[in-house]
C-alpha cells in the first residue's frame, strides 16, 4: 500500500471515528432529552394522536439548492404558533448536546458544532416540551404536518425556509441516532426539530419517547443590502 493510500485510509478512519463519536453524543442527547422536570400533572403530548392518525398525503415542493448557511437567531413555525429565540448549544460534561436550561422554556437550542441552517447536511434544533408548571416551546411540535413551513432567521437577517416532510416518534428504548440525525438525501440542506414525547414515566423520571420533525430547505430570502455598502 502506498503512502498516499495509507494517508487516505487513515483519513477515512478518522472521519468514521469522528462520526461515531458524534452519533454517540447525539444519542445521549436524545436519551437525556427525555429526562424532564415534569410534576405529577405532566400532560401527555400530542404525538399519541399523531401516531394514531394517518398523515395527509400532500405534494411537497422541490428542494432548494444548499447555501452557505446562517447562524440562527430565531425559529418560527407559523402553523403551530411557535416564535422562539435560538441559542447556540454545545456538549455538556457527559458528552451530550446541552439543551436550553429549564429556566428558559421558550428558547430553542441549536447544535453549534453541527450544520448551519441552509447548508448541506442536517441542522439540529432541540427544545423542551414542558416545565413543572406549564407547556414549553415545543409542546405542540407533534401536531406538525407535512407541507408546513419552518423559518429560520439568521443573525444577518437572511431567512431560510424549510418544508416539513414527516413527523416521527421514537421510543426511548429504540432511539436510532443515525436515522434521527443523519441526512435523508445526500446533498440536501435539512433540519430536525426534536423534543420529548409519549407519556411521562414517573418511576424513570423521564418521557417515554422523542418527537422528531424532519424538514428540508425549499426557499431562501437574502438579507436586505445595507444602505451605503459597497457593491
Q: Break the chain into its structural domains and give their ranges.
A: 3-221
| Mean pLDDT on 15-34 | 47
**Sequence-ordered list of residues with C-beta below 8 angstroms from that of 137, at least 6 positions apart, any chain:** 82, 84, 105, 106, 107, 108, 127, 128
Lowest mean pLDDT among 31-35, 47-51, 219-223: 47-51
pLDDT confidence of residue 220: 97
Angle at 136 between CA 135 and CA 140, to 5 degrees: 75
What is the pLDDT confidence band of residue 188, given thresholds at 50, 70 and 90? very high
Q: What is the dihedral of CA 170, 100, 89, 146, to 10 degrees?
A: 40
| Mean pLDDT on 33-37 | 58
pLDDT confidence of residue 6: 43
d(Cα 70, Cα 159) in Å, to the nearest integer? 8
* pTM (two decimals): 0.77
Q: Which of 3-17, 107-121, 189-203 has the highest mean pLDDT?
A: 107-121
Looking at the structure, give the CATH architecture of the domain made up of residues 3-221: Beta Barrel (2.40)
| Mean pLDDT on 66-72 | 94
Lowest mean pLDDT among 13-17, 133-137, 202-206: 13-17
pLDDT confidence of residue 177: 79
Residue-wise pLDDT tens digits, 193-210: 998 888 877 776 678 888
| Mean pLDDT on 152-179 | 90
Q: What is the dihedral of CA 60, 64, 68, 69, to 10 degrees?
A: -20
| Mean pLDDT on 77-95 | 88
Amino acid at each position: 500500500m502506498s503512502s498516499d493510500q495509507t494517508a487516505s485510509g487513515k483519513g477515512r478512519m478518522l472521519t468514521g471515528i469522528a462520526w461515531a463519536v458524534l452519533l454517540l453524543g447525539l444519542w445521549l442527547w436524545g436519551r437525556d432529552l427525555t429526562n424532564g422536570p415534569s410534576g405529577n400533572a405532566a400532560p401527555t403530548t400530542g404525538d399519541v394522536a399523531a401516531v394514531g392518525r394517518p398523515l395527509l398525503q400532500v405534494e411537497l415542493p422541490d428542494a432548494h439548492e444548499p447555501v452557505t448557511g446562517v447562524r440562527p437567531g430565531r425559529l418560527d413555525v407559523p402553523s403551530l404558533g411557535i416564535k422562539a429565540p435560538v441559542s447556540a448549544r454545545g456538549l455538556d460534561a457527559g458528552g451530550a448536546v446541552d439543551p436550553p436550561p429549564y429556566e428558559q422554556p421558550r428558547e430553542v437550542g441549536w447544535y453549534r458544532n453541527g450544520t448551519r441552517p441552509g447548508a448541506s447536511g442536517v441542522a439540529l434544533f432541540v427544545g423542551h416540551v414542558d416545565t413543572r408548571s406549564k407547556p414549553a416551546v415545543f409542546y405542540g411540535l407533534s401536531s406538525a404536518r407535512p407541507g408546513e413551513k419552518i423559518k429560520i432567521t439568521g443573525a444577518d437577517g437572511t431567512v431560510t425556509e424549510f418544508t416539513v416532510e414527516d413527523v416521527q416518534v421514537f421510543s426511548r428504548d429504540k432511539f436510532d441516532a443515525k436515522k434521527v440525525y443523519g441526512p435523508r438525501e445526500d446533498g440536501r440542506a435539512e433540519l430536525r426539530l426534536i423534543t420529548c414525547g409519549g407519556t411521562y414515566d414517573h418511576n424513570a423520571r423521564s418521557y417515554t419517547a422523542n418527537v422528531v420533525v424532519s424538514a428540508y430547505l425549499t426557499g431562501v430570502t437574502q438579507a436586505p443590502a445595507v444602505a451605503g455598502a459597497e457593491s
